[in-house]
Copies of this chain bind each other. A is one copy, B any other.
Amino acid sequence: MHVTIKDVARKAGVGIGTVSRVFNRSPLVSQETQMRVLQAAQELGYHPDVSARRLVQGRTRIIAFIERHTPRHLYVDAFMSQVLLGVHTESREAGYHILLEPFSTTDVNGDNRLIQLIREKHADGIIISGPRIDDPIFSTLKDETLPVVLHGNYPGVALPSVDADNFHGAKLATQHLIQLGHTRIGMISNGPFEYTAAVARRDGYLAALEEADLPIDPAIILPGGFSPESGYQAMQVLLASDQRPSAVFVASDTVAVGAIKASRAAGVNLPGDIAIVGFDDIPWAAYLTPPLTTVRLPAQEIGRQAAKLLIQLIDGKSPKNTQKLLPTKLIVRGSSTPV
């Protein structure tokens, strides 16, 4: 049968409080009783019931990871996976488990489910990844006191957050193309501009053009949709434009994969005819043809920092810097050559 604390107490000849103290590493238990209790627990195969523990302690030692795109996005996106790995690594060190909670933006009851998750006390804190700037989740969160850390960067939102420096990364990518002599540079975003990352990357691109006194042409700035398919379509539009750009900054490697395919399908020579720079540095980037020049994000580090920040918040600490922007890095490969 199921072994409880009482069984151990009886076997060790002590009260249940003492058993509890031993398992909670209380210093006020004698060496000897401690040994006796441990011995009894060992023999009975006792492990303290986590639900009982959570009930009485009022905390779960669980971190909920909420993804706000689609459920599909959470699992398929290679970048998100890395973030999740970082969250996992950091959480585990602190003794936290991870509850995976994809809440689709299109989910009818998405908001109720979030409140439920919070009020039913499933977790001690939550990390929310990738909400849109106009996400109803923000107003829902207003009334809750549970520690929350956002993965993303939301100007005007007071919540703690961790993100890559998308603006600067996009600027780096664009400056790289400018240095190669390109003057007409198109852009395909990673996703719709309701996502702040898409906006920040576009703004970085624009800033680089402006600083170089290059003209900005809205006709060659297109929205992507997180998928290769969307990159394929956007690239077709760029290829068909009257003044075809000699370089394109695609703000997502996944989208760039589609852009590359569209170019090839149109008989465009890469990188000779069109230079391409991606974003994210997914594991496959170096293996594409041509190998993709891209901007590497500290994906795993984002996850670690988000978890670290959240745990500090859970522990009642007041970290100083609660809006972190982590540095990105340009990785030059074969897809970007001089004009």
Interchain CA distance A116-B119 in the complex, whole Å? 27
Copies of this chain assembled into the complex: 2
Q: Is the CB of A47 within 8 A of B116?
A: yes
Taking a contact as CB atoms closer than 8 A, the residue among B89, B121, B286 that contacts A49 in the complex is B121
Which residue in B60, B98, B258 is a CB contact (below 8 Å) of A100?
B98
Identify A85's interface contact among B71, B82, B121, CB under 8 A: B71
Q: Which positions in A face B, CB cutoff 8 Å? A: 45-52, 54-55, 60, 62, 71-72, 74-76, 78, 81-82, 84-85, 88-89, 97-102, 115-116, 119-122, 228, 257-258, 260-261, 264, 283-284, 286-289
Residues of B within 8 A of A228 (CB): 283-284, 286-287
A49 to B117 alpha-carbon distance, docked (Å): 10
Do A120 and B289 have beta carbons less than 8 Å apart?
Answer: no
Which B residues touch A81, using CB under 8 A?
A: 75-76, 81
Find A99's partner among B71, B82, B97, B283 (CB 8 Å cutoff): B97
CB neighbours of A288 from chain B (8 A): 288-289
Instruction: Identify the 5 closest CB pairs spanning chains A and B, nearest first.
Output: A47-B119, A75-B81, A51-B54, A289-B289, A75-B85
Name the residue on B nearest A119 (C-beta). B47
Please indicate the chain B residues that have their CB under 8 angstroms from the CB of A62 in the complex.
Answer: 99
Would you call B45 and A55 a contact (CB within 8 A)?
no
Do A48 and B120 have beta carbons less than 8 Å apart?
Answer: yes
A98: B residues at CB distance < 8 A: 99-100
Could you show 30 A-B contacts with beta carbons less than 8 Å apart? A45-B119, A46-B119, A47-B116, A47-B119, A47-B120, A48-B120, A49-B120, A50-B121, A51-B60, A52-B55, A55-B55, A62-B99, A71-B85, A71-B89, A72-B85, A74-B85, A75-B81, A75-B84, A76-B85, A88-B100, A88-B102, A97-B100, A97-B122, A99-B99, A228-B287, A258-B287, A261-B286, A261-B287, A264-B289, A289-B289
Minimum CB–CB distance from A335 to chain B (whole Å) comes to 12
What CA separation (Å) do A283 and B260 show in the bound complex? 15
CA distance A336 to B121 in the complex (A): 54
Q: How far is the CA of A257 from the CA of B292 in the complex (A)?
A: 14
Q: Whole-angstrom distance between the alpha carbons of A149 and B287 in the complex?
A: 35
Q: What's the least CB distance linking A305 to chain B, in Å? A: 17
